[in-house]
Amino acid sequence: MRFTLSVALTPLDQLTELAVTAEECGFSSIALPDSLFYSEQVSADYPYTPDGSRFWDENTPWVDPLIAAASMGAATNRITFYTSVLKLGSRNPVLLARQVGSVANLTGDRFGLGLGVGWAPEEFEWCGVPYRRRGKRVDEAIDVLRLILDGGMVEYHGEFFDFDKLCMSPAPKRHVPFYVGGHSEPALRRAARVGDGWSSAMMKLDDLRDTIARLNTLRAEYGRADQPFEFQAVCIDRFGLDGYREQADVGVTDVITVPWVFDGLGFDAPVEQKKDSIKKFAAEIIERF
C-alpha cells in the first residue's frame, strides 16, 4: 500500500515545499483538489457531507491542479501527482487533453488524471455546459481524452463531441492513468469500465469495504478483473498502523492523508509545522508499515 499527501485547502505558496518534503519522506504521490470557483449560492447539495454543506468558503485557497502539478513537478524528481478529482463535466476534453499531455510530458510522465462528473450546476452552466445529461457527456469526454492522449492522428464523432482528424504532439510517453471518482452506481460502473482506478471521497471503512467489493464485481462483469487497478481512499475512521492495515485488508492500495490534521494543525498552519508533521508521519507510519 502507498501513501499520498493531500494538499487540499493549502495556501499556494506552501505547495512546492510540501511536495519536496513528501518526496524526501517516502510519499508516493500528491493529491490535488479541484474547484473552479465559489458561488455565493449553490443549487445542489454537496454530496460528501452529512448535511450537504460545503466545508470551504469564498476565502479558501485553490489553484488549477494541472498548473500546480507542473510547478511541483519542476521541483521534484520521483513523486507523482494526480487530481483528486478534476471535475470533467464542465470542461472541454479536447482542450483538457492538450493540458494533460503537457503536464505529463513536463513532469516526466508523473501525472495521473483523477476525474469525476462534478456536482454543482453553477459550475456547468457558468462555463457554458448544460447540467442535464452530464453523465453521458462525461462518458464521451473520457473517450475523447483517452483517444487523443494515446497519440497519433485521431478523429471522433459522437453526440456531444465531434471533430475530424487531429494530432497533439508530443503524446505522453507512457499511459496516463485515469482514476474515476464518485460513490454512486453510475460512477462505480464508469470506474470499473474505463478507469485505471477509483478514488473515494470521505468514507468509513465499512463503506469502503462494500464499495471495493462492488467495484471488483463490476470489473469482472466488464472483463477487466485481471487488469491493474488502484483503490485510492480517504478513510475517516481508521488511522495509525493498525488502521492502515485494516484499510489494506479491505483492498485499499493508496491512502490519501493529511498528516498535519493528526497534529491538530489547521490547513493554514505555517509550512514548517506541516513539514514536521509529514516527517513525523513518515517515521511513525510509512517506514514501519
pLDDT at 68: 98
pLDDT at 152: 98
pLDDT at 161: 98
Successive 10-residue mean pLDDT values, the chain, 289 residues: 97 98 98 96 92 94 97 98 97 98 98 97 97 97 98 98 98 98 97 98 97 98 97 97 98 98 97 98 96
Paired with 196 in beta bridges are none
Per-residue cell: 63: 489553484
Which residues have CB under 8 Å from 171's CB, separation 6+?
Answer: 101, 149, 150, 151, 152
Burial class (CB in 10 A: 0-12, 13-18, 19+), 224: middle
pLDDT at 97: 98
Burial class (CB in 10 A: 0-12, 13-18, 19+), 140: middle
**How far from chain centre, in Å, is Cα 196?**
12
Count of Cβ atoms closer than 10 Å to residue 253 Cβ: 16
